Chains A and B, each alone.
Chain A
């Protein structure tokens, strides 16, 4: 089944403890992206990648890192999480021009930082 898989689905962590949220797609998509969703703010783009080793900042990149060493994987790294990073996170991928086809989304990761 074609899908975007992100793990974990739920995560509670403490301030300052480094964490990684994994994302993998099995559709051979070139584009991948991370979003965070907060009430009243919609989805905001954190980072996106147009191919292996090619990444760019979205609208809210502060406090996050990404890497794209393989086409299928695009992990999101929080080096020192803070409570304001408590949010619902989505990974997404697209086959070509995102603008034409939109993104296919994973199931989301609910992150709580205490």
Chain B
């Protein structure tokens, strides 16, 4: 069975600094996708970034980027120039083609200190 693991329940970062959130997954599939979602205190789930497993190039969205290590089954999220609005819970997720299945990790709560 596929699993997604986020081993850091909580992280903190100083405003304007860089922080990296970790995620590992386990799968025997070769074609899959990975996501990071953000959940602020409003509890809305917001898609931050996505990565196709067949692409070697790491995805980037403004201040958010990923480090995708397929062989190690690792998918970390780097937030540069952290802002107070980045404070939220972040979830890593994994899914395969042609299914409705999307599996989430346990989440990491990020605190941003002014």
Contacts and interface: CB of A to CB of B under 8 A. Distances in A.
Contact of A102 (B35, B44, B96, B105): B35
B95 A49 contact: no
Interface in A20-63: 31-33, 35, 40-45, 48-50, 56, 58-59
A97 B9 contact: no
Contacts of A94: 100
B41 to A, nearest CB: 12
27 contacts: A33-B100, A33-B102, A35-B104, A40-B9, A40-B106, A42-B91, A42-B104, A43-B93, A43-B104, A45-B101, A45-B102, A49-B100, A50-B99, A56-B100, A58-B101, A88-B43, A98-B101, A99-B32, A99-B96, A99-B97, A99-B99, A100-B33, A101-B50, A102-B35, A102-B47, A103-B102, A107-B44
B45 interface: yes
B29 to A, nearest CB: 10
Interface in B35-57: 35, 37, 43-45, 47, 50, 52
A42 B43 contact: no
B103 interface: yes
Dominant secondary structure at the A interface: strand
B98 interface: yes
A39 to B, nearest CB: 9
A97 B105 contact: no
B107 A42 contact: yes
